[in-house]
Amino acid sequence: MSTQAQLKPQKLDIRPLTGALGAEIYGLDVKQLDDATFDSVYQAFLDYSVLVFRDQELNEEEFAAFGLRFGKLEDEPFLPNKSETPGVYYFFGAPKDGKQLSTQKLGWHMDHSYQKNPSLGAILYALDVPAVGGDTLFASSYESYEGLSPMMKEMLEGKIGVHDVLQYGLNSGHHSIGTEKALLTLAKMRKSFPQTEHPLICKHPETGRKMLYINKAWTTAIKGLAENESKALLDMLKEHSLRDVYQCRVRWYNKSLMIWDNRCVQHSPNSDYTEQRRMLRLALHSDWVPGEEQTAGH
């Protein structure tokens, strides 16, 4: 009899974070999930979009193993600090000379929406985090779609958003463009990730729920509109999509583990801290192309 078969299904203690999205799950050791319990966790992942597990004791391999239950791990060609475990990266938010790193200023985004098939999700594990600060904020793309007026929903149906890694990188201060080396890195990113297009309204490939598929960082234009029209409409939609009623906020403690469904949320790492912050990170690959109706993932 395998170890897996000897494990008893564990009951989920799910505590929602807000009325919009997010939940903490208590009473689980994520290293010890039998298949039935994992199925319940996966369903909670689809239901709440963001899950947090506290007090998890994980090494790099166990962290990767938890990720692999959700899907394939995605390579991050431009993320530094690869660990020795395939697919796992160290994520540092360390102060430099008492100042915050520029990488902490990314703000609201969806990971890799500038790819044809954006990430399914990402998982973070807190190794050593400041006592206060560095919360991660999330906003539900389901709720922002639901919150649009019927006429706006109708107007946006079938319209296409342009996603671009370069424009926000240049305009937001997220990437340094002060040196030739930094500019060359941005140019390389742009070459790896050409501009791509996704529908503004699309369905989640597993839940089938409709979403307002935009994010503040990488959605840079609406196809077919004049530049001023596109900017005005996108600015309004971005502000709408980040209304506080569509959000939750996750506080970090050492040994907290968090996963989010990158297909239906925007997230924002808050940079209100100056102490050392070390995490493990992995990204989950998805074959889903927004706008295509095939089922992908689990």
Q: Which parts of this chain interact with Fe ion (CB under 5 A)?
A: 111
Strand locations in the chain (E): 13-16, 23-26, 50-53, 73-74, 89-92, 121-128, 136-140, 160-163, 196-199, 201-203, 210-212, 219-222, 247-250, 257-261, 265-269, 278-284
Residue closer to Fe ion by CB (options 37, 262) is 262
- Asked whether the beta carbons of 254 and 129 are under 8 A apart, the reply is yes
Q: State the minimum distance, in angstroms, from the CB of residue 64 to Fe ion.
A: 19
> Smallest distance, Å, CB 217 to Fe ion?
9
Question: Do the Cβ atoms of 15 and 24 come closer than 8 Å?
Answer: yes
Closest separation in Å from C-beta 184 to Fe ion:
23
Which residue lies nearest Fe ion, judged by its C-beta? 111
Nearer to Fe ion, 136 or 144 (CB): 136
Compute the CA torsion angle 190, 194, 195, 200 (nearest 10 deg). -120
Cβ proximity to Fe ion: between 156 and 282 the closer is 282
* Closest distance of CB 218 from Fe ion, Å: 11
Least distance in angstroms from the C-beta of 36 to Fe ion: 31
In angstroms, what is the minimal distance from the CB of 109 to Fe ion? 6
Q: Please give the Cα distance from 136 to 120 (Å, whole number).
A: 18
CA-CA distance, 166 to 223, in Å (whole number)? Answer: 17
CA dist., res. 176 & res. 239, Å (int): 26
Measured in degrees and rounded to the nearest 5, phi and psi for residue 72 equal: -70, 150
Query: Is the Cβ of residue 103 or residue 230 nearer to Fe ion in the bound state?
Result: 103
Check residue 184 and report its DSSP letter. H
Q: Report the residue number, 60 or 111, with the smaller CB distance to Fe ion.
A: 111
In the DSSP assignment, the letter for residue 245 is G
Toward Fe ion, which CB reaches closer, 111 or 164? 111
